[in-house]
Amino acid sequence: MNCPECQSSKLNIYDSRHIGDHVVRKRKCMACDERFYTIESYMSAEELEAIEAIRREQHDTGNENGSTITPDSNNGDADDT
Ligand SMILES: [Zn+2]
């Protein structure tokens, strides 16, 4: 969980409350003072898999970082002395 404004991971939880089956937390970014909420709730394994599938699709279409690793990109040519 990072700040939606500045992507900082330094977040402070200053309130949390139960609303039905959910826990709502008030968070504040210590870097930029952005305040926002997060919600925790139950999730079935099927729901989690569906979300991860969507995330993978988004990552595939918009990969700016190019995190794909090709295993045969470096096959030992460091020995040219
Ligand atoms: Zn922030």
pTM for the whole structure = 0.55
Ligand 1 centroid to Cα of residue 22, in Å, is 24
In a domain, 74, yes or no: no
Mean pLDDT of 39-52: 94
What CA–CA distance (Å, rounded) separates 56 from 13? Answer: 29
Ligand 1 centroid to Cα of residue 28, in Å, is 8
Q: Domain span at residue 56?
A: 11-61
Weakest-pLDDT range from 20-24, 29-33, 49-53, 60-64: 60-64
Ligand 1 centroid to Cα of residue 33, in Å, is 6
On average, the pLDDT of the chain sits at 86
What is the total count of domains within the chain? Answer: 1
Ligand 1 centroid to Cα of residue 2, in Å, is 8
In a domain, 17, yes or no: yes
In a domain, 36, yes or no: yes
Ligand 1 centroid to Cα of residue 34, in Å, is 5
In a domain, 42, yes or no: yes
Q: How far is CA 31 from CA 14, 51, 63, in A?
A: 15, 29, 27
- Confidence label for 61 from pLDDT (cuts 50, 70 and 90): confident
In a domain, 69, yes or no: no
| pLDDT of res. 59 | 86
